[in-house]
Amino acid sequence: MNLILLAVFLLDEPVSTYLLRTPSVLKPIGSFVTDFGKSGWILMVSALLFGEALTKARLVRSAALRLQAFLISHVAAYVFLTVALSGLAANLAKRMIGRVRPLFAPDGSAFGFSPLHGSYQFESFPSGHATTVGALMMALALMAPAWRVHCLVLGLWLGFSRVIVGAHYPSDVIAGLVFGAWFSIVTATVFARYGLLFTAQDGSLPRLCRPLPLSLPSRRAGRWRTLLPVLGGSASGGQPTAAA
């Protein structure tokens, strides 16, 4: 909340005015990466992965492979619910708040509001793209703790691409990133409460119940080998083991 308030009073107007009026080498980069914050492709991939995992769980005979398939289905369901529900909440909030977007602010003011206006130009706070990015990056960070710094850096670039292209103020992006990340943690906590995918820890973030079975076929032996030991799996097989 402090970051959002500071951005509203200190950053929003000067940053948006500068970016809209000054040519910048960052604008082509922002235009290229900004669409990665759309939720459609994430929801489609996670839904397809969920269906494929459930199908595999019914077809395989091995109990270990069936457990892996169910684990992947839980991952897909977690990502889908996190991105979908946080996006719905952010879209509802931006329509109720009705903050004008930088591109449509006539006098460059960041304090133009028209609650329940219902049009694109008054749907700036919070950023829906940034909410999706925050939710996805935090979900990945919870499932791959060793990659948390990478998720943070990527999340900041993807989120603030909305500022670079003039679609949002910095405070819109900060609010979206924080809300999406918070929503991922809450969803993981709910999953942990029901014994799905995560386990709760006192005073710490939820963690996976067991490592993810992420592997690719070996070229020589034709068997599966684990590629991401950073997730906590064994490099010798790809079978799920109890998390340490």
DSSP H helices, the chain, are 2-6, 12-21, 26-33, 39-59, 63-97, 128-143, 148-164, 170-193
Structure-block tokens of residue 212: 């993810």
Q: Which two tokens stand for residue 224?
A: 């599966």
Q: How far apart are the first and last CA of the chain?
A: 35
CA dihedral 110, 89, 133, 2 (to 10 degrees): 50
What pLDDT was estimated at residue 227? 36
Whether the pLDDT of residue 229 is over 50: the answer is no
Convert the pLDDT of each residue in 108-133 to its tens digit: 688 888 898 878 889 999 999 999 99
- The pLDDT, as a whole number, for residue 103 is 85
Q: Are 194 and 127 in contact (CB under 8 A)?
A: no
**pLDDT per position as a tens digit, 153-212:** 999 999 999 998 888 999 999 999 999 999 999 999 999 999 889 988 777 888 888 877
Q: How many CB atoms lie within 10 A of CB 103?
A: 14
| Cα atoms in the Cβ-side hemisphere of radius 13 Å centred on 79 | 25
What is the residue type of 6?
L
pLDDT for the residue numbered 235: 40
Residue 220 has pLDDT above 50, yes or no: no
Distance CA 200, CA 193 (A): 7
pTM of the model: 0.82
CB count within 10 Å of CB 228 equals 17
Cis-peptide into 126, omega within 30 deg: yes
Which residues are CB-neighbours of 112 under 8 A, at least 6 positions away?
Answer: 99, 100, 105, 106, 122
Looking at residue 100, what DSSP letter applies? P
- Class of residue 193 by CB neighbours under 10 A (exposed 0-12, middle 13-18, buried 19+): exposed
With contact defined as beta carbons under 8 Å apart, do 172 and 179 qualify?
no
In whole numbers, what is the pLDDT of the chain averaged over residues? 83
What is the pLDDT at residue 114? 87
